[in-house]
Amino acid sequence: MKPLLEIRNVSLSYHTVSGETKALSNISFDLMPGEFLAVVGPSGCGKSTLLNIIAGILPLDEGSVRIYGKEVSSHGKMIPIEERNINMVFQDFALWPHMKARDNILYGLKVRRVDKDEQEKRLQEVVSLLHLEGLLNQFPAELSGGQQQRVAIARALITKPAIILLDEPLCNLDVQLRIEMRTEMAQLFRHLKTTVFHVTHDPSEAFAMADRIIVMNQGNIDQNGKPEECYKMPKTAVVAGLLGCLLY
């Protein structure tokens, strides 16, 4: 099986008045079709930078990103997110406040001018998958955090993207809901065989949801493996420290 996403020797530095920060140093890994990969690591280790490079929001200095074998980013080249067949779920859900849930969910299909019957068919599919019956005429402000989260996931799934990027999608929910949602989301994506790239600072979330985890530290990958491998055989003190507190 060929990888869906190939990250090769990716490096990026930020240049500010206070100097240069190397955010990513020669990062390489693959994401296979249908796989759920979580990137975990302490604040400042480079997770968001990596996510934004994959999304086509940030350019890279060196290396390349390929999706289905097609180069989408390299030095001096960046194909925009709308041409990458990628969708994102953000930590603040980023729903349009002036649109009802229904219009938020359908937005991606409308801009792609998908025909009305197909829009309705796909809407019914995601409504049933995410238990959104009865909520479609509500505005985001009228929905609970968990319901907004479901609408955001429905909006991401409805365009049938090659990859869904999850940017700390649970951190704005209270603890109980976070635990419920992570199980529900992991089951849903597994059932749909969705390819997922998930960024989180919370190792227990990565453990509960992912098939494979990458542990990052100061712009490098310390370990890339199955959660139980990283837990039982940590390659560095940072991995051991991060995962050691989990009960497994």
Question: Which residues form the interface with ligand ADP (CB under 6 A)?
Answer: 14, 16, 21, 23, 41, 43-49
* Locus of tokens 């890339």: 224
- In the complex, least distance from residue 45 CB atom to ligand ADP, rounded to whole angstroms: 4
Spatial CA neighbour of 24 closest among 56, 81, 73, 63: 63
Asked if residue 4 lies in contact with residue 162, where contact means CB atoms within 8 angstroms, the answer is yes
Task: Provide the token pair at 212.
Answer: 């494979």
- Pairwise CA distance, residues 111 & 108, whole Å: 5
Nearer to ligand ADP, 49 or 148 (CB): 49
Nearer to ligand ADP, 43 or 176 (CB): 43
Nearer to ligand ADP, 51 or 127 (CB): 51
Burial of residue 210, with CB atoms counted within 10 A of its CB: 0-12 exposed, 13-18 middle, 19 or more buried: buried
Asked if residue 10 lies in contact with residue 28, where contact means CB atoms within 8 angstroms, the answer is yes
Nearer to ligand ADP, 102 or 201 (CB): 201
Nearer to ligand ADP, 123 or 207 (CB): 207
- In the complex, least distance from residue 54 CB atom to ligand ADP, rounded to whole angstroms: 12
- Pairwise CA distance, residues 94 & 189, whole Å: 20
* Locus of tokens 């996931």: 153
Nearer to ligand ADP, 33 or 44 (CB): 44
- In the complex, least distance from residue 10 CB atom to ligand ADP, rounded to whole angstroms: 12
- In the complex, least distance from residue 176 CB atom to ligand ADP, rounded to whole angstroms: 25
Kindly give the pairing relationship between strand 196-200 and strand 163-167.
parallel
Spatial CA neighbour of 67 closest among 32, 118, 99: 32
- Pairwise CA distance, residues 162 & 85, whole Å: 6
- In the complex, least distance from residue 106 CB atom to ligand ADP, rounded to whole angstroms: 31
- In the complex, least distance from residue 189 CB atom to ligand ADP, rounded to whole angstroms: 22
* Locus of tokens 């008045």: 17
